[in-house]
Structure 1
Amino acid sequence: MAAAPRYSCAKLSVAVEDPKAAGGGAVFVKATWFPTRFSLAVTDGAGAWVAEASDAEVRLRAEQWDQPVDEYLALAERYLAFHQPSSSYSFHDAGNGCRRLSWTFERQGTKLEWRWKLQPSPNTQQAISEILDFLMDANIRLSEEVVRKSQSFDKLKHEAEKCLQQSERLNKEKADFEEATFTKFVVVLNSKKAKLRQLREKVAELESADKPTKEEEQGDNSTDRTELFEEGSDKEASVNDEPSNTGSGDHHSSPEKSGATSRGRRGRKRTKK
């Protein structure tokens, strides 16, 4: 399928022979761009001229400039679809009612000029009308686009304001929540600290109260041990004394009994001390 053509229309400031002529040194160039060719319709407000650049002509011009056809067409569209301030445009008489449209550009530091010869339009009024219709349609499309963009911008602005208000409200709620939480935390923390302080004081009181009790228990234990020791000594003495009481008539007691008796007496002396 053939690619759909592209359309452009630009107002170009051109050098003319008579600056006081209709158009005042400006022309409108309507162009139709195809993949391998293009066509032009130019008006200065009083007359109209057209040019049909065929595939063969475009290919020949591209070969003269050592360029591919697509690159040649892209460069021509750049200067004819948009006014380039760095370029010098001219629209001069070429004889027999024809006009020559030319524009300059730089290539590798060299200033070059392209020219295209235009024939008088067979129907001047129709050509001018078509250019004006295209400009009006383009203006309407641009106006509608501006309105849509403006509405979209207003909508985005309104949404941004709502988001900003919501963000401020959320930030305030967050700050209030953090402040309330921190206040509650401080109260709980102080309560825990007071409770810990009371527990420490109670533990200290219990420890101070337990110290005398331990000393008394130690004293009681030493007394019990002394009494047990004394009771044990008395019992031992009574057992050891038994043979001497029953055997009082025996003057020849055994050495074992004498030793037991002497030990019992020494144990009683220690207890008395």
Structure 2
Amino acid sequence: MTSIRTNAELEFSFLQMYSIFIQPEGEAGEPSFRRLVLRSVAHIIRLYSSSLITECEVFLSMLVKVIFLDLPLWHRILVLEILRGFCVEARTLRVLFQNFDMHPKNTNVVEGMVKALARVVSSVQVLDASEESLAAVAGMFSSKAKGVEWSLDNDASNAAVLVASEAHSITLAVEGLLGVVFTVATLTDEAVEVGELESPRCDNDPPAKCTGKTAALCISMVDSLWLTILDALSLILSRSQGEAIVLEILKGYQAFTQEVSTAVPKLMKESSGQYSDFNILSSLNSQ
């Protein structure tokens, strides 16, 4: 009885916060209030997504759609912060993928999140001030690598604030995609350690052994997310202007290449012509 009452209360609270979030006007329109609501809902999703399947599915799907609606940039950034948080947390991403993407009756939530983040990254091709935005993105990654918080000058112009906001969006999207990469890398390592996967020693080795839940999860995640992530990372790498972001993306590329060669060697061979180390490094050397 206690668990039923608790679930009902959680569902009621979840729906209340959802209704507040989608309100376009009033106090709920303030950035600080929206941030509080979003973080509260994200916390509920992290803890209870296995119990509140329908509610979490609706809210996560709504978050993905909100990114591309005609809303203020601060609103978009709040949503990207939440999606990035889900992507960089291995346990959360694992649970979401298992509950939704691997369940035939549910929406492919994680795949949708990754595609949304990739679309944000691809916006550098159409932004009016894309070079300025990319320079700001490079500055954000450089500051992060040095352990320094990036910030705008107090007397920055409106145009500079707009560029910084766009750059913040792109940075969050790139960090989210890299978070997925390193999460899958962690899960693949776990599968290898417990004997569910075997690392290939050479191209002529027979197909690696794939048994167990973690191995199945890794294979499914790679198969679902691999090409979308590499498209986005290849694009941002070819346009990047700073050492810190280039190194971070190359680390992600290296990690994902290792995952694919371990979990889905057939996919690695099929896509090696399009996404090879040579092509990636060539885009770097051409700068």
TM-score band w.r.t. shorter chain: under 0.3
Which structure has the highest helix share of the two?
Answer: 2
Based on CA coordinates, which of the two structures has the bigger radius of gyration? Answer: 1
TM-score normalised over the length of structure 2: 0.15
Question: Does 1 or 2 have the higher relative contact order (CA < 8 Å, sep 6+)?
Answer: 2
Which structure has the highest strand share of the two?
Answer: 1
